[in-house]
Structure 1
Amino acid sequence: MAKDLKIALVQTSLAWEDPERNRNRFSKKLKEISEDVDLVILPEMFTTGFTMNPRNIHISEGQKTLDWMKAECAKKEIALVGSLPFYENDRYTNRLFFVHPDGTFDYYDKRHTFTLAGENEVYGSGAVKLIVDYKGFKICPMICYDLRFPVWSRNTEDYDVLIYVANWPKPRVNAWDALLKARAIENMAYCIGVNRIGTDGLNHEYSGNSATYDTLGDLMVHSQDDETLSVVLSKEHIVSNRGKLKFLEDRDKFTLLG
């Protein structure tokens, strides 16, 4: 069982609805990561920005990006996680891929589509929570608006790490900061949020604020401007705190109905 998990958080501006340009951008970002890492986290819709017009992009781009992720994972011997518009079975989803170093992958379709932007009218909603086993850590990846719904992220699986990839706009970034911390505390898990920076094609501004909180809600790393952040997660930190503070044993039992 791994004692530590080394993670890089990559927040950057995104070229609007231009997958090839964004893939090239992230290839350069990955190449610039000089230290050894186990996992690199990219933002939500990292190849397009938060577009509600996925039909502006050829349907083959989703598979091209998945193939790119596999190639980068093999090259760097890392895992990669991020979401993108993906077309399958006659519908689009905001799909997160967790790609392992050997090219195998898990995926999660965003449960809570962002109705304020009409995402629910364009993208299908997922219904299955994902838990990934990676290097001795149980990881639960989610997407942006999911952060506002604590029941969906409730730690009933004893996961170790909760990840949110996002395009979370600057005017509501205080909520982003507060909710990331809350999710860490209530689930006694590391909570990582990776946002983007810059301005998108609709003139929405993003201020980054990517961050990592530990199981007690203490801030480990945070930045508005740095495009790459690194953090080391400790398995012993999780085991020790859950052993002393058995809050998860008192959690409510429930069943989601829909």
Structure 2
Amino acid sequence: MSDLRVALIQSDIIPDDSAANLTALERQMAANCPDPLDLIVLPEVFTTGFHPRARQHAETAAGPVSQWLARHANHYNAVVTGSVVFNDAKAHCNRLLWAAPDKPLQYYDKRHLFRMAGEHERYRAGRQRCIFTLGSWRVLAQVCYDLRFPVFSRNRDDYDLALYVANWPAARHDHWRSLLKARAIENQAYVIGVNRVGHDAYEQAYAGGSVVFSPEGELLVEAGDQAWVITAQLSEAALRDYRARFPAHLDGDEFSLVID
């Protein structure tokens, strides 16, 4: 393993305007992303925002957003990831796309759908827990409401970094920060959370608060409530040292995760 250089892109998502959102993200990245980087993380549904009409702008495998991600992964020589509303010809899903330089797109479909907003009625739930590799780092990728389900995030000595992309409302901002910190402490892993800011099509407010926590739950960097880019360097030496000094993971309970 080597240190991981990451950038968190906290954006104000314009409803129903994919082109405008991609242009705004390009400007944020060009103005604020240092060189070199290993990982660039965008929010949940970063081209549409989280609302029922988003399915009208669903992405496909050869669509413009997939091409945009691949192009920017090559440009920055870094993985670029975030979720979009996706139509795979069978159903709509909330799909996190993982674009690595010069490699085919990989993906994770959001497992836990936010029933309080009817997401479970409009989208198909994912059926796999996905861990991607980035160099020698193992990265668990999840989406928003997944954060509330610790069993699905449980580290079975199979990942080093958990990342959560979200449209997490300001009304539950304390939950966002507390749960991210808890996931870091209980799983002895780095945790990244990337949220949006601004207001959606229904005037729901979002407070940002994109953040990186260390495996000990130490706050490494945190954004405010404006569109912004924050960066961090994750230390593999610190991760290994902490797990060696405090090997609580060796006493974890054995279990099987059943996904219906």
TM bin, normalised by shorter chain, reads over 0.9
Query: For residue 196 of structure 1, what is the aligned residue in structure 2?
Result: 196
**1:53 counterpart SS class:** helix
CA distance, structure 1, for counterparts of residue 72 and residue 222 of structure 2:
25
> Do structure 1's residue 71 and structure 2's residue 71 form an aligned pair?
yes
Query: For residue 237 of structure 2, what is the aligned residue in structure 1?
Result: 236
Return the offset for 1:158. 2.6
Offset from partner CA, 1:11-66 (integer Å, 9 cap, x none): 01011021111111111122112332111000000000012223432655972101
Q: Which moved more, 1:153-162 or 1:170-179?
A: 153-162
Query: For residue 22 of structure 1, what is the aligned residue in structure 2?
Result: 21
CA distance, structure 1, for counterparts of residue 192 and residue 59 of structure 2:
30
Q: Which amino acid aligns with 2:22?
A: R
Query: For residue 214 of structure 1, what is the aligned residue in structure 2?
Result: 214
Q: Which moved more, 1:105-114 or 1:33-42?
A: 33-42
**1:94 counterpart SS class:** strand
Q: Which moved more, 1:47-56 or 1:7-16?
A: 47-56
CA distance, structure 2, for counterparts of residue 81 and residue 35 of structure 1:
17
Q: Which amino acid aligns with 1:42?
A: L
CA distance, structure 2, for counterparts of residue 205 and residue 68 of structure 1:
27
Offset from partner CA, 1:125-157 (integer Å, 9 cap, x none): 001011111021100010000000000000014
Q: Which moved more, 1:47-56 or 1:59-68?
A: 59-68
What's the % identity of the aligned pairs? 37
Query: For residue 45 of structure 1, what is the aligned residue in structure 2?
Result: 45
Q: Please tell me whether the aligned partners of residues 74 and 101 of structure 2 are also in contact (alpha carbons under 8 angstroms).
A: yes
Q: Please tell me whether the aligned partners of residues 17 and 51 of structure 1 are also in contact (alpha carbons under 8 angstroms).
A: no
CA distance, structure 2, for counterparts of residue 198 and residue 130 of structure 1:
30
> Relative to structure 1, is the Cα distance of residues 88 and 161 closer, same or farther in structure 2, using a 3 angstrom cutoff?
same
**1:124 counterpart SS class:** coil
Q: Which moved more, 1:28-37 or 1:130-139?
A: 28-37
Q: Which amino acid aligns with 1:149?
A: F
Q: Please tell me whether the aligned partners of residues 73 and 103 of structure 1 are also in contact (alpha carbons under 8 angstroms).
A: no
> Relative to structure 1, is the Cα distance of residues 226 and 51 closer, same or farther in structure 2, using a 3 angstrom cutoff?
closer
> Relative to structure 1, is the Cα distance of residues 208 and 59 closer, same or farther in structure 2, using a 3 angstrom cutoff?
closer
User: Which sections of structure 1, spanning at least 5 residues, go unmatched?
Assistant: none
Query: For residue 253 of structure 1, what is the aligned residue in structure 2?
Result: 254
Q: Please tell me whether the aligned partners of residues 74 and 103 of structure 1 are also in contact (alpha carbons under 8 angstroms).
A: no
CA distance, structure 2, for counterparts of residue 242 and residue 51 of structure 1:
41
CA distance, structure 2, for counterparts of residue 62 and residue 144 of structure 1:
25
> Do structure 1's residue 86 and structure 2's residue 93 form an aligned pair?
no
Any residues of structure 2 matched to 1:22-171 within 5 Å, and which? 22-32=21-31, 33-57=33-57, 63-171=63-171
Return the offset for 1:226. 5.6
Q: Which moved more, 1:129-138 or 1:110-119?
A: 129-138
Q: Which amino acid aligns with 1:52?
A: P
CA distance, structure 1, for counterparts of residue 61 and residue 170 of structure 2:
28
> Relative to structure 1, is the Cα distance of residues 60 and 96 closer, same or farther in structure 2, using a 3 angstrom cutoff?
closer
CA distance, structure 2, for counterparts of residue 146 and residue 60 of structure 1:
23
Given the two structures, how large is their TM-score scaled by the length of structure 1? 0.96
Q: Which moved more, 1:118-127 or 1:46-55?
A: 46-55
Query: For residue 7 of structure 2, what is the aligned residue in structure 1?
Result: 8
**1:231 counterpart SS class:** strand
CA distance, structure 1, for counterparts of residue 56 and residue 227 of structure 2:
31
User: Which sections of structure 2, spanning at least 5 residues, go unmatched?
Assistant: none
Query: For residue 178 of structure 1, what is the aligned residue in structure 2?
Result: 178
Q: Which amino acid aligns with 1:101?
A: P
**2:52 counterpart SS class:** coil
CA distance, structure 2, for counterparts of residue 236 and residue 48 of structure 1:
38
CA distance, structure 2, for counterparts of residue 72 and residue 229 of structure 1:
18
